[in-house]
Structure 1
Amino acid sequence: MTHLYRKVSFGSKVNFECLMCGQCCSNGPNLGLTAFDILRIANYLGIEWRELRGKYIVAVIADLTAIPVLRDKGGGRCVFLENREGKAYCRIYPARPMRCRLYPFIPYSPSDNHTLYLDECCPGIKTDKTIEPPWNTLEKYNFEARIHYSKIYTLTFKKGFEPLEALEKSVEEIAALFSMESAKGKHLRQGSASQEQLYVPAS
């Protein structure tokens, strides 16, 4: 499928309503994840995050960077996509990745919280419902992406870890910090990356 994208600037509104058609979950390419996405999915499924490897998540190596992606069932269909009564159904919907939460809006840059692109191939944009783009979700996603790739970069290019080792260690470090804060009865919220204040809950 050829995708056409339209720039959406902060303050504008667009027509969109999810039709539960499953098109966005069925056409690939495989969706890139952050460590935060991985931890949320594992928590929702009630399993240790390492159990996701291979069965639900694989890693693609690009430019010495390991990028975790959701597996597909073939033909670009997400491993978590099911069909219930003729409607697309996501097995992990409450814990779906941030990129899924944003769609049909596509992030422009992790450093830009005021620009999105709209995938005009999504049937939902042809509805009459008018919405404000998900700027808060974009801000959360960009924050998590910056933390994730900053850790990957440091581990790979400054500490000499192999790509897959760097990916696993970055997930371990973020998981450890989240567990530590959860034990204190609170979640680390959005803040300076240098302070490693992590935003894990997506809701």
Structure 2
Amino acid sequence: MERRWVATIDLETLEVEYDPTFKFKCLENCGRCCHELEIPVRDEDITEIEGLGYNAWEFVDYDKMFYRGDKFLSYALKKRPFDGACVFLDPETKRCKIYPHRPLACRLYPFVFVKSGKKMEVYVKMDPFCPGLNHPDGEPVTGEFLLRDYGDVIGEYRGKIVKATE
């Protein structure tokens, strides 16, 4: 997987350095990532989705596992057997049935956040199937973009820095 640096956030000041040549726009009703990717589903994601009335056996693929080295991280979301898409992708509308409650990996895609000291580096996965990468109607990955779309994730990492300095 090729990835490209698009921004760095100072977690103390929220100042952002970004690559103005890259733009992104998630295209409505695309759903290609829902077909192409294996999505890790964390315990927190499972609890959130179960709160919607689903049973974990309906959406967790216990045969697919994600590891970092020898450390188990999570299982994957199930795919439908008839088209290989995520079980939550509506086949008619191509929209996620649980969009406000989708797993963190879905919310972050195509971005990868890497904490490095008191900074957070933001990379984008340059997956050839994603039509939103460098889309002409896209927007650069500015501080405004990052705080609007990923403010909760950034806030969580900022909180860890504050606790570490106390």
TM-score normalized by structure 1? 0.55
Closer, same or farther: CA 124–71 of 1 in aligned 2, 3 Å: same
* 1:90 Cα offset (Å): 0.5
Equivalent of 1:70 in 54, 65, 77: 77
Instruction: List gaps (5 residues or longer) in structure 1.
Output: 144-189, 196-203
CA contact (8 A) 2:113 2:120 kept: no
CA contact (8 A) 1:108 1:115 kept: yes
* 1:9 Cα offset (Å): 2.2
The structure 1 segments of at least 4 consecutive aligned residues displaced by more than 6 Å after TM superposition are none
Closer, same or farther: CA 66–138 of 1 in aligned 2, 3 Å: closer
Per-residue displacement from partner, 1:78-133 (whole Å, max 9, x unpaired)? 1111133xx42111101011111111212335977611221223211223231433
* 1:61 Cα offset (Å): 6.8
Aligned mates of 1:104, 1:61 — CA distance in 2: 18
Provide the residue aligned with 2:46 in structure 1.
38
CA contact (8 A) 1:107 1:115 kept: yes
What is the identity percentage for the equivalent residue pairs of Structure 1 and Structure 2? 29
Matches within 5 A, 1:5-154: 5-10=3-8, 11=16, 12=18, 14-20=22-28, 21-28=30-37, 30-43=38-51, 45-47=52-54, 51-52=55-56, 54-59=57-62, 60=65, 62=67, 63=70, 65=72, 67-74=74-81, 76-84=84-92, 87-108=93-114, 114-121=120-127, 122-125=130-133, 126-131=135-140, 132-133=145-146, 134-139=149-154
Closer, same or farther: CA 70–90 of 1 in aligned 2, 3 Å: same
Aligned mates of 2:117, 2:106 — CA distance in 1: 19
CA contact (8 A) 2:40 2:76 kept: yes
* 1:70 Cα offset (Å): 0.6
Q: Give SS of 1:77's match.
A: coil
Aligned mates of 2:117, 2:84 — CA distance in 1: 29
* 1:76 Cα offset (Å): 4.2
Of Structure 1 and Structure 2, which has the larger fraction of its residues in helix? 1
Of Structure 1 and Structure 2, which has the larger fraction of its residues in strand? 2
CA contact (8 A) 2:80 2:87 kept: yes
Aligned mates of 1:77, 1:111 — CA distance in 2: 37
Q: CA RMSD in A?
A: 3.1
